[in-house]
Amino acid sequence: MKKAYVHGYDPRENIRLQDQASTLVELLHSDTAYPPGSRVLEAGCGVGAQTIALAGNSPRALITSVDISPSSVAEAARTAAEAGLSNVHFQQADIFSLPFGPDSFDHIFVCFVLEHLPKPVEALLALKKVLRAGGTITVIEGDHGSAYFHPDSEAARRAIQCQVQLQRRAGGNANVGRELYPLLCEAGYGSVRVSPRMVYVDASKPGLVDGFIKKTFTAMIEGVRQSALEAGIAEEREFAEGIRDLYRTAEVDGVFCYTFFKAIGLKPAQ
Ligand X SMILES: C[S@@+](CC[C@H](N)C(=O)[O-])C[C@H]1O[C@@H](n2cnc3c(N)ncnc32)[C@H](O)[C@@H]1O
At its nearest, how many Å lie between ligand X and the CB of residue 11?
A: 14
Q: Is 96 in the site for ligand X (CB under 6 A)?
A: yes
69 vs 165, beta carbon nearer ligand X: 69
For residue 266, give Cα distances in angstroms to 134, 152, 188, 270. 6, 40, 9, 12
Among 67, 106, 141, 245, binds ligand X (CB under 6 A): 67
Among 23, 32, 64, 72, binds ligand X (CB under 6 A): 72
Q: Is 95 in the site for ligand X (CB under 6 A)?
A: yes
At its nearest, how many Å lie between ligand X and the CB of residue 208?
A: 18
Q: Is 69 in the site for ligand X (CB under 6 A)?
A: yes
Site residues (CB under 6 A) for ligand X, limited to 20-59: 21, 44-46, 49-50
Asked if residue 258 lies in contact with residue 217, where contact means CB atoms within 8 angstroms, the answer is yes
Residues contacting ligand X: total by CB under 6 A: 20
3-state secondary structure of 224: coil
Q: Is 68 in the site for ligand X (CB under 6 A)?
A: yes
Give the C-alpha separation, 250 to 150, whole Å.
9
At its nearest, how many Å lie between ligand X and the CB of residue 61?
A: 17
Burial of 212 (0-12, 13-18, 19+ CB in 10 A): buried
Report the residue closest to ligand X, judged by CB.
Answer: 46
Q: Which residues pair with 40 in a beta bridge?
A: 63, 107
At its nearest, how many Å lie between ligand X and the CB of residue 231?
A: 20
3-state secondary structure of 164: helix
At its nearest, how many Å lie between ligand X and the CB of residue 117?
A: 6
Among 5, 112, 212, 239, binds ligand X (CB under 6 A): 112
For residue 132, give Cα distances in angstroms to 41, 186, 269. 12, 18, 9
72 vs 161, beta carbon nearer ligand X: 72
Closest CA to 132 of 34, 41, 51, 264: 41
Element (H, E) at 172: none
3-state secondary structure of 23: helix
At its nearest, how many Å lie between ligand X and the CB of residue 107?
A: 15
Among 111, 162, 194, 234, binds ligand X (CB under 6 A): 111
The amino acid at 192: V
Q: Is 94 in the site for ligand X (CB under 6 A)?
A: yes
For residue 52, give Cα distances in angstroms to 17, 196, 263. 12, 22, 20
Interacting residue ranges for ligand X, rule: CB under 6 A: 7-8, 17, 21, 44-46, 49-50, 67-69, 72, 94-96, 111-113, 116
